[in-house]
């Protein structure tokens, strides 16, 4: 315990240990200024002189004043809560993305309410149509199954920001990376290393647009390099977990094909694929180079560290929160399609141990 006063109960302890609320009036009396001046400092209004701001801040620190954020939000007709609805909280990517959103919201004195949709259409509909509208200021949603018509019929006025790579012709801010370009970056890296037969694991039909886009990028880069984009080296899966990656890699090997590289839909599948390769006596990267997608922490600590496409999860979280708050602030804002950055992080699974560690 640090002994700090909780944010929603500003104050200090008396001699008996009971909580004594410190008010703006107490701070004003201590600093010898008006309550309005203290309020201006607490709310960071710019027209307070530096000397006055310093004087009031000393009193705030001395008395241990903490702003009552709950009361502040309620005065503005808000709750200070942003909902974040994700399809798979057990997936490391979504867990890390949730942490990025939570951190960004905290920077703006908001908290995050997490919803797990399981990628189920009925749950995504429930969330998007105002299931928690009375307790949230805005919703950040990463849908897997909802179509444009599902969201066009949405009557709820709580601001909505979309995440993910599904394309929607809708008046909502939408934050995503360029999956085709990211996949091409991954395949180009393998081709530049001299790999000529690159498999893809994690293809999936239906509404899984991210998988389709990554297959498209895989194919486009191989064609650009003058290499065959062989559908026999594309393994479809029902899911995107470790076991799915391991099974997909096994199916490719059991055909008698022996690719010299594999690009996986995500890091979790890539790690599963590397397990299969290890069990078959194949070395990574000597026999097969492996690239994943998402740059999750797990991929950095295996026996062979994983090369991965790294979306800027911190930026995605920040942009999502800022988009919600911009909508809350009002104004005639045009809906935005925001591209977050990505980069390739090279590790042992493609460049080997010595190169990954700087020679």
Which residues, in sequence order, are CB contacts of 218 under 8 Å at separation 6+?
A: 183, 184, 186, 187, 198, 200, 229, 234, 263
Residue 69 has pLDDT above 80, yes or no: no
| 171 inside domain | yes
Single pTM value for the model: 0.77
Report the distance separating Cα 217 and Cα 210, nearest Å: 11
Whole-angstrom CA distances from 92 to 88, 95, 158, 232, 251 are 9, 5, 28, 29, 25
Query: Pairing state of beta strands 289-293 and 337-339?
Result: unpaired
94 & 208 share domain: no
Conformation bin of residue 100: beta by default, left when phi > 0, alpha when psi is -120 to 50: alpha
CATH number at residue 123: 3.40.50.2300
Do 89 and 30 lie in a common domain?
Answer: no
Which range (17-31, 146-160, 235-249, 331-345) has the least confidence? 17-31
CATH number where 26 lies: 1.10.260.40
Q: Do 266 and 143 reside in the same domain of the chain?
A: no
Question: What is the predicted pLDDT for the residue at 119?
Answer: 87
Average pLDDT for 275-301: 97
Same domain? 253 vs 324: no
The reply to whether 164 and 117 lie within a common domain is yes
How far is 6 from 62, CA to CA, in rounded Å? Answer: 16
Q: Decide if 346 is inside a domain.
A: no
Q: Is residue 3 part of a domain?
A: no
**185 plus 307 within the same structural domain:** yes
Query: pLDDT tens across 156-186, in order?
Result: 678 999 998 887 888 899 999 999 999 999 9
Q: Say whether 70 sits in a helix, a strand or coil.
A: helix
- Do 199 and 171 have their domain in common? no
Residue 44 tokens read as 């960071």
Does an H or E element contain 261, and which? Answer: strand 261-264
Buried b or exposed e, range 295-333, using 16+ CB within 10 angstroms = bbeebeebebbbbbbbbbbbbbbbbbbbbbbbbbeeeee
Band of the pLDDT at 75, cuts 50, 70, 90? low
For residue 344, being part of any structural domain is answered with no
Determine the structural domain holding residue 146 and report its residue range.
79-176+313-339
Q: Are 171 and 327 in contact (CB under 8 A)?
A: no
pLDDT at 189 over 90: yes
Tell me: do 172 and 318 sit in the same domain.
Answer: yes
Of these ranges, 32-46, 139-153, 188-202, the one predicted with the greatest mean pLDDT is 188-202
Last residue of a domain, one of 47, 67, 87: 67
Q: Are residues 317 and 305 in the same domain?
A: no
Average pLDDT over residues 318-324: 94
**Which tokens belong to 359?**
């020679």
Residue 230 is assigned to a structural domain of this protein: yes
- Residue 345 falls within a domain, yes or no? no
Q: 200 and 307 share a domain?
A: yes
Kindly state whether residue 5 falls inside one of the protein's structural domains.
Answer: no
Rounded distance, CA 160 to CA 150, Å? 13
Q: What is the number of structural domains in the chain?
A: 3
Residues 290 and 193 in one domain: yes
Name which of 12-16, 75-79, 106-110, 185-189 the model is least confident about: 12-16
**Among residues of the chain, what percentage have pLDDT more than 70?**
86
Using pLDDT thresholds of 50, 70 and 90, give the confidence band for residue 271.
Answer: very high
pLDDT in the model for residue 70? 53
Q: Is residue 133 part of a domain?
A: yes
Quick one: pLDDT band at residue 153, thresholds 50, 70, 90?
Answer: confident
158 plus 229 within the same structural domain: no
């Amino acid at each position: 315990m640090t002994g700090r006063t909780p944010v929603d109960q500003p104050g200090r302890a008396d001699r008996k240990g009971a909580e004594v609320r410190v008010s703006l009036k107490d701070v004003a009396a201590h600093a010898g200024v008006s309550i309005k001046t203290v309020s201006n400092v607490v709310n960071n209004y710019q027209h307070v002189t530096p000397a006055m701001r310093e004087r009031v801040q000393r009193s705030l620190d001395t008395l241990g004043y903490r702003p009552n954020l709950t009361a502040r939000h309620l005065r503005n007709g808000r709750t200070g809560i942003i909902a974040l609805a994700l399809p798979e909280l057990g997936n490391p990517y979504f867990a890390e993305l949730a942490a990025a959103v939570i951190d960004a919201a905290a920077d703006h004195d908001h908290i995050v309410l997490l919803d797990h949709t399981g990628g189920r259409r009925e749950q995504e509909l429930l969330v998007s149509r105002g299931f928690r509208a009375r307790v949230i200021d805005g919703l950040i949603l990463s849908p897997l199954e909802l179509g444009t018509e599902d969201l066009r019929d949405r009557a709820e006025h709580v601001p909505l920001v979309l995440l993910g790579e599904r394309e929607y012709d809708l008046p909502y801010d939408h934050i995503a990376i360029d999956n085709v370009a990211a996949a091409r970056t991954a395949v180009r890296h393998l081709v530049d290393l001299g790999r000529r037969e690159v498999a893809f694991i994690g293809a999936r039909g239906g509404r899984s647009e991210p998988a389709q886009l990554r297959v498209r990028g895989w194919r486009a880069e191989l064609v650009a390099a003058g290499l065959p984009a062989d559908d026999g080296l594309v393994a479809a899966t029902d899911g995107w977990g470790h076991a799915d990656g391991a099974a997909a890699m096994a199916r490719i090997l059991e055909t008698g094909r022996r690719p010299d590289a594999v690009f996986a839909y995500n890091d979790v599948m890539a790690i599963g694929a590397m397990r299969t390769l290890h069990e078959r006596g194949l070395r990574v990267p000597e026999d097969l180079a492996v690239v994943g997608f998402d740059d999750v922490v797990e991929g950095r600590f295996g026996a062979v560290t994983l090369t991965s496409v790294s979306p800027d999860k911190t930026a995605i979280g920040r942009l999502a929160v800022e988009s919600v708050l911009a909508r809350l602030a009002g104004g005639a804002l045009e809906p935005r399609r925001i591209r977050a950055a990505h980069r390739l992080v090279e590790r042992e699974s493609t460049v080997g141990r010595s190169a990954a560690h700087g020679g």
